[in-house]
Amino acid sequence: MITRTQHEIAIRFGSVVGTMKVRVWSPSDDAPVLFCLPGFIGHIGSEYCFIADHLARNGYKVVVPDLIGRGESTYFGRKEVYSPRNIMYALHAVISAFPGRSRFLMGTSWGGIMSIMYVQAFRERFQGLVLNDIPVTNGGTNIEFRDHLIAMCNAEFDSLDEAARWGHDLLDNTLGPLPANLDSRFFGEHYVRKAGSRFRYKIDPVIAEVIRDNVATRFDLTDSILGMNCPVAMLYGIDSWHRDAANIASFRKGGPDITIFDSLVGKHPPLLATRDQHMIVQGFLDYAGNKAKIGVS
């Protein structure tokens, strides 16, 4: 039997306090734990609801936070609060609250980058790491995302339906085609909030300034990924902007335990909402978990 619960995890940054909303799908108390970090466009934990149901039915406890300033977590209204350092400490509060005999970490896009940063910052041991559609290096495609992200932060609408259709169409055109279960009704239920007499997306508007300041920051995650001390899976849609043939070749050649699935149908798989994607992730988690049990290096 699967239990679905919601939690509020207290967080503090000096004198600034708030909470993070966390959703948990659990088949049992001693199940292996998978922490899922959402991406910049999805930005809230409910984007993992499809794969969370599947994995919980197959023996995994799935823990999904709304990142600070997103979803139902605290909106601080101050861009300096949304620093990488504070995000790391907020994630540490969540991960510490859900111990498990085996632990895995999965992140989509920006959430994948945060996953790598978290492992490096806290030196915590995970049995496996899933990086879903992450840019390994920064380039022009990251800049293209900027305007879409800022538009979502600032957009206001007269009705829930208008907001839901606009958000669905934006992501369908940018990342799609989206699966049929990710229709405008889904976006209205999960991504839209009432703000006074208007409707907005579930994201603190000041995050637009954070995006504007940081999206062009140069980075290269190649060495960080190659240096992970656990099995790594990397997932890409066959037409993904982030699918770099040269990087993929270097990982396949030089990665000690890196598995790459780079032919998923569509441009980007941000919500992991289809059964084939569920089975790929589950298969990797089963492999990584069994490898850890028998102590294979």
Find the CATH number of the domain harbouring 255: 3.40.50.1820
Alpha helices in 61-138 (DSSP H): 84-97, 110-122
Q: Is residue 50 part of a domain?
A: yes
Give the residue numbers spanning the domain of 52.
Answer: 3-138+220-294
For the whole model, what pTM was predicted?
0.92
Q: What is the DSSP letter of 66?
A: P
* Residue range 51-110, pLDDT digits in tens: 999 999 999 999 999 999 999 999 999 999 999 999 999 999 999 999 988 999 999 988
pLDDT attached to residue 268: 61
State how far the Cα of 76 lies from the Cα of 86, in Å rounded to an integer.
Answer: 12
Asked if the bond preceding 177 is cis, omega within 30° of 0, the reply is yes
Q: Is residue 194 part of a domain?
A: no
Q: Is residue 249 part of a domain?
A: yes
Kindly list the distances between the CA atom of residue 184 and the CA atoms of 39, 89, 188, 249, in Å, as whole numbers in the listed order.
19, 34, 6, 38
Q: Is 16 left (phi over 0), alpha (psi -120 to 50) or beta?
A: beta
State how far the Cα of 281 lies from the Cα of 271, in Å rounded to an integer.
Answer: 12
Question: Between β-strands 258-264 and 3-13, what pairing exists: parallel, antiparallel or unpaired?
Answer: unpaired
Torsion of Cα atoms, 112 then 117 then 118 then 122, to 10°: 160
Q: Is residue 189 part of a domain?
A: no
The count of domains in the chain is 1
Q: Is residue 162 part of a domain?
A: no
Q: Which residue in 251, 267, 202, 257 sits closest to 38, CA to CA?
A: 202
Q: Take residue 142 and report the two structure tokens written for it.
A: 């990251």
3-state secondary structure of 149: helix
Q: Is residue 30 part of a domain?
A: yes
Q: Is residue 179 part of a domain?
A: no
Tell me the HSE value of 69 on the side-chain side, using a 13 A CA sphere.
21
State how far the Cα of 203 lies from the Cα of 74, in Å rounded to an integer.
Answer: 10
Q: Take residue 152 and report the two structure tokens written for it.
A: 């979502």
Residue 169 backbone dihedrals phi, psi, to 5 degrees? -65, -40
Name residues of the chain where pLDDT drops below 50. none
Q: Is residue 158 part of a domain?
A: no
Of the chain, the percentage scoring pLDDT greater than 70 comes to: 91
Q: Which residue in 12, 71, 282 sits closest to 274, CA to CA?
A: 282
